[in-house]
Amino acid sequence: MFLARQQMYEQMEKQLNHISVLMEIDRAIASSLDLEVIGNIFAEKTIKHLQADAIDILLYNQYAQKFSFMYGSGFLKQKEKQLVLNSSTDLCGKMLLKDEPVFISNLRDEGIICTRSQLAQEEGFVSYYGIPITAKGRLIGVVEFFFRRQFKPESAWVDFAKSFSLQLAIAVDNALLYEKSQRTQSELLQAYNNTIEGWSYALDLRDKETEGHSRRVTLMTVQIAQHLGMDEEEIAHVYRGALLHDIGKLGIPDNILLKPSPLTEEEWVIMRRHPVYAYEMLSSIAYLKQAMDIPYCHHERWDGAGYPRGLRENQIPLAARIFSIVDAYDAMLYDRPYRKGLSKEEIVDEISSGTGKHYDPEVVKVFMKMLHEDRLEVS
């Protein structure tokens, strides 16, 4: 009677310990979507609790039909990272595809033809236990336990291992979904940026005398914005806005935009509409809404005499205040059909004379300092 109670007590203690470890893993895994962190947490807890000598987690690629290394612990050598299970030819791989655990009592048995047999020779492993990791009805990987002694799993051990693997499946599936989402978002952002760069290039081609202008002023504007402490997200909007600063000129007729002689007053009225056209074109595109400061406001002046809205001083967005100086600098530096480009010294004089009228005095100071230090050179 006492022995029976003792056994029951020990069994309950094991169960409670098992639940406690599961909860620890669950809390730890829930705090991260990093596969490396998840693997480390899982390995640390399960190696100790299931008394395995080594453990690895392999992810399954259904197209290549292979299991590839994700995380491992307890191995003497690093070669495990290069090893894969070929599910079409490897015995372990074939068995794991059946969504059933694989137990091999003696990996050194000559009748076992398995990649894990080769590993056993190098690592001194004797027994092997592999459990498929499935989520939402699909195989996403496998967790493998290795033992450097003869091992025979009891039913309680198998139940524990399956519970751990179920937790791991949920965590890995969430991490993979997040990783895929991040990759998709990154690819989408790159596609958007490529489209914007294409628009900018098309604008430069239309106006041959400003060819390369958009790229140059964009890089310089970004450099100054970074120096002024704008964060990564703000810089991204500055970059897009600078590339699209003249997008509104698509609404200006060629006979005005490409006119080689000075514009008449009536033609200037039309030309000054291009920031408004930019606003009308971009305001409905959510992705570009925060990039509109430069296309819409880069012709505003510090003294309020600019267009299209007559903004003054700090009413003008900082990105537009930076860009207006860079744009003027680049426009004066290069030859135009009606005049030769100016020297840097002449441009500095011109911008200095416009400080407090056209340009923000504080931004001019930063621009001049960076120009003097050759930190605004664009190759």
Q: Does domain 2-180 have CATH number 2.30.30.90?
A: no
Please state which of the ranges 87-91, 174-178, 225-229, 281-285 shows the lowest mean pLDDT: 87-91
Q: Where is mean pLDDT largest: 58-62, 67-71, 354-358?
A: 354-358
pLDDT tier for residue 22 given thresholds of 50, 70 and 90: low
Distance CA 52, CA 328 (A): 70
| pLDDT score for 284 | 83
Q: What would the two tokens of residue 163 be?
A: 């519970």
Residue 174 in this model has a pLDDT that exceeds 70 = yes
| pLDDT score for 205 | 66
Q: Where is mean pLDDT largest: 14-28, 63-77, 308-322?
A: 308-322
Residue 338 in this model has a pLDDT that exceeds 70 = no
Residue 98 in this model has a pLDDT that exceeds 90 = no
| pLDDT score for 239 | 92
Residue 117 in this model has a pLDDT that exceeds 80 = no
Residue 7 in this model has a pLDDT that exceeds 60 = no
Mean pLDDT rounded to a whole number for the chain: 81
Residue 260 in this model has a pLDDT that exceeds 90 = no
| pLDDT score for 333 | 85
Residue 78 in this model has a pLDDT that exceeds 70 = no
Distance CA 15, CA 11 (A): 6
Long-range pairs of 176-185 with CB within 8 A, sequence gap ≥ 24: 176/35, 176/59, 176/140, 178/33, 179/33, 179/35
Residue 41 in this model has a pLDDT that exceeds 90 = no
CATH of domain 207-372: 1.10.3210.10
| pLDDT score for 36 | 76
Residue 47 in this model has a pLDDT that exceeds 60 = yes
Distance CA 297, CA 301 (A): 9
Q: What would the two tokens of residue 281 be?
A: 């074109």
Please state which of the ranges 38-47, 60-69, 257-266 shows the lowest mean pLDDT: 38-47
Angle in degrees, CA 13, 125, 140, rounded to 5: 70
Q: Where is mean pLDDT largest: 27-31, 34-38, 176-180, 343-347?
A: 343-347
The predicted-structure confidence for 183-235, as pLDDT tens digits, reads as follows 766 666 676 777 777 777 767 666 655 567 888 899 999 999 999 999 988 99
Show me where the domains of the chain are located.
2-180, 207-372
The predicted-structure confidence for 274-294, as pLDDT tens digits, reads as follows 999 999 988 888 888 889 999
pLDDT-above-90 percentage for the chain: 29
Fold match, 2-180 / 207-372: no
| pLDDT score for 292 | 92
Q: What is the mean pLDDT of residues 57-76?
A: 83
Residue 321 in this model has a pLDDT that exceeds 80 = yes
Please state which of the ranges 90-104, 158-172, 176-190, 234-248 shows the lowest mean pLDDT: 176-190
Considering Cα of 29, then 32, then 34, then 37, what sign does the dihedral take?
negative
> Checking phi first, is residue 191 left (phi over 0); if not, alpha (psi -120 to 50) or beta?
alpha
Q: What is the mean pLDDT of residues 20-38?
A: 63
Q: Where are the alpha helices (DSSP H) in 207-301?
A: 213-227, 232-243, 254-257, 265-271, 274-282, 293-297
| pLDDT score for 228 | 94
| pLDDT score for 289 | 85
- Encoded amino acid at 102, one letter: V
Whole-model pTM? Answer: 0.58
